[in-house]
Chain A
Amino acid sequence: MAVYDHSYKNYEGPLTPDWSRFLVIPRHAFRDVFKSKLFTAFFALCFLPLLVEAILIYLHHNVNALAILRVNVRELIPIDASFFQTFVNLQGGFAFFVTLLVGPPLVSRDLRNNALPLYLCRPFSRAEYVAGKMSVVLILLSAMTWVPQLILFMFQAYLEGGSWLINNLWIASAILIASVVWILLLALLSQAISALVKWRVVASGALLGIFFIPSVFGEVVNQIFWTRWGSIISLGALTKNISAGLFGTFERTTGFATNMEGDVVSRVVMMEPPLWCSWAALFVVCAICLAILSAKVKAYEVVS
């Protein structure tokens, strides 16, 4: 079927392996995503905290630079688990905004244009479709969260020495797990909402709402009932607790009941929900997202 030879011919050439076919979707999606200069600029901006992190690590180990800047090493933030946790959380915030821009149209656009039959009439399953769409978000977010964080961790280990690496290897696993949990949640939620809502703006609004409305509601519950169990419905609080647990900074006792002026009005110690509850709640959210995707990602809706 050459351009000059207008006749129909079968394709006899080599085929790509089955396992790699879902990666076709992110490859084509990135071309579309980075067409927007505004998004490209924002994505580049997301790496700014990492640059600051790298500079701080570098300064800790460069006496000459400290001398020039007339800064005492003790005045700098210590490079420990809290240091990495702070930057993991910061990058998580940027990851949320990148998801808001990239995630919502991924499935909704296909649903709006009846494109699903075109994907699914090929040797391409529904699971591969979902994996492909999710990997658009996962690859982008990985590039700005755990991948650079682990590189900076290795940079710190290189400057500090082998013993520091051995003693703090758990921080690397905490960086990896906390980031992966967060970006996986973002990817799943954005795809589930995208499958439910056909319009991009509405889907972005819904994603924003799913994080903020339960947080506000949870905080109201906390204030009214003098408890911290309201956090169980706040996705932000759940992931924050999980992250704190992984970095060893999680404390169940967080404070006392306060009034509007911030004065302590009760001596009742309020406890954060235990960590396993946060994990369980997160699993439930992920299961719901997968159920929505399973129900909505179909070539055709059957009206029985």
Chain B
Amino acid sequence: MATAATFEQEINLHDPKNFAPVIDLNDLSVNFGKRQILKGLRGELRGRAIGLLGPNGAGKTTLIHTLLGFHAPSAGTAHIFGKDILTDAKQIRSLIGYMPERDSFIAKMSAVHFVRLMAELSGLPPEASLERAHEALFYVGLGEARYRSLDTYSLGMKQLAKLAQAIVHGPKLIFLDEPTNGLDPPARARMIRLIREIRDSGQANIVLSSHLLRDVEECCEEILILKNGYLAVYCNLEEERKSNRKFLVLETRGDDAKFVEAIAGLGCEYALTGDHRLKIVLTEGTEVRDLYRIAAEQNMQIRRLSYKRDSLEDIFLKAMENGNGSL
């Protein structure tokens, strides 16, 4: 019994629900002049890697900027690791690393000089800054190019240098704003691998803002979808996938109308998604062989059949259609 209790305690210890949320949004609203950009966002974000999704202009970057203290909230507030963004901004910024979306660097500087300067501004002593700058540049794969001027870097290298400056001081939370923008496939794969490595190290939480669903799908455990400044969806990606029903995707040849009628007779839900394409949710007791039997009876051909669950794209599209509320 004692062992079980200890085990249970250990489980509780590792359950993120037992800790202060990484980011706690309390009715956070932001206005730019008369325009409301963020509208009463509310929620507790606890994941190791949180994907921030939304169409252009949804407020993703504004949310990051507000959390960094660049914009003052017009109403509400937010907490990062339990610290208020209004009153403890400096303390919060000492825990954060930020990789901006736009090209941002200091001209006429070598990469190692640039990253060292950023580390010193974060409060690291000069010697430690230099050491960490070398380490960070090696870590992101710019070790051999670290003495080159940033002006001579390619777009991919500049993105990696931005990542290096974001992690050089070993922050506990890293905001990555469109980190794969403009990268070719190998560079993108490298960036994704680095983000996953940082996530898996358990030393830092990551907030990844992107309009590329694939990036978020590959890196994040939780997603937050913004739509018109509202929080449309916040969910655990894995749990969401599990909770979604498994469905079949069929490609057929023949008379679909009679076929779907017969399937409806079995009590299955279905949807015609295109010409000779069907989505079917099987009921309890119905098996795939029943579909083949009905197809044979209707003189239909099933050319292709596959199992599917809702992808992030489905979740995103669903949120775009429905969501405009909060959690």
| Interface set of A (CB-CB < 8 Å, partner B) | 1-3, 6-16, 18, 21, 24, 28, 32, 109-110, 112-115, 117-125, 298-300, 302-304
Q: A109: which of B107, B124, B170 is its contact (CB, 8 Å)? A: B107
Chain B interface size band reads: 35 or more
Taking CB atoms and an 8 Å cut-off, the chain B residues in 145-204 that contact chain A are 165, 167, 169-172, 197-198, 201, 203-204
Report how far A2 CA is from B104 CA in the complex, Å.
26
Of all chain B residues, the one with the shortest Cβ separation from A299 is B70
CB distance A113 to B124 under 8 Å?
no
CB distance B104 to A118 under 8 Å?
yes
CB distance B201 to A7 under 8 Å?
yes
Interface of A is mostly: loop
Q: Is residue B94 contacting chain A, with contact meaning CB distance below 8 A?
A: yes
Minimum distance in angstroms from B102 CB to a CB of chain A: 5
Given contacts A8-B167, A114-B104, A118-B165, contact A123 B98 (CB under 8 A): no
Q: A1: which of B33, B35, B103, B135 is its contact (CB, 8 Å)? A: B135
Report how far A303 CA is from B35 CA in the complex, Å.
10
Q: Is residue B125 contacting chain A, with contact meaning CB distance below 8 A?
A: yes
CB distance B70 to A13 under 8 Å?
no
Given contacts A28-B117, A110-B106, A121-B96, contact A7 B125 (CB under 8 A): no
CB distance B106 to A9 under 8 Å?
no
Q: With a CB–CB cut-off of 8 A, which chain A residues contact B65? A: 299-300
Binds A, one of B10-18, B136-144, B233-241: B136-144
Q: Is residue B121 contacting chain A, with contact meaning CB distance below 8 A?
A: yes
Q: With a CB–CB cut-off of 8 A, which chain B residues contact A120? A: 68-70
Q: B122: which of A117, A123, A299 is its contact (CB, 8 Å)? A: A123
Report how far A302 CA is from B143 CA in the complex, Å.
37
CB distance A1 to B170 under 8 Å?
yes
Minimum distance in angstroms from B296 CB to a CB of chain A: 57
Report how far A60 CA is from B120 CA in the complex, Å.
49
CB distance B124 to A16 under 8 Å?
yes
Report how far A2 CA is from B134 CA in the complex, Å.
9
Given contacts A1-B132, A9-B201, A113-B106, contact A15 B124 (CB under 8 A): yes
Q: A113: which of B103, B123, B167 is its contact (CB, 8 Å)? A: B103
Given contacts A3-B135, A123-B93, A300-B70, contact A21 B121 (CB under 8 A): yes
Q: Is residue B242 contacting chain A, with contact meaning CB distance below 8 A?
A: no
CB distance A117 to B198 under 8 Å?
no
Residue-wise, chain B 82-112 has the 8 Å CB interface mask toward A (1 for contact) of: 0000000011011011101011111111000
Q: With a CB–CB cut-off of 8 A, which chain B residues contact A118? A: 98, 100, 104-106, 118, 165
Q: With a CB–CB cut-off of 8 A, which chain B residues contact A24? A: 117, 120-121
Q: A304: which of B34, B70, B128 is its contact (CB, 8 Å)? A: B34
CB distance B124 to A302 under 8 Å?
no
Q: With a CB–CB cut-off of 8 A, which chain B residues contact A28? A: 113, 117, 120
Q: Is residue B71 contacting chain A, with contact meaning CB distance below 8 A?
A: yes
Q: Is residue B7 contacting chain A, with contact meaning CB distance below 8 A?
A: no
CB distance B128 to A13 under 8 Å?
yes
Q: A2: which of B35, B109, B135, B198 is its contact (CB, 8 Å)? A: B135
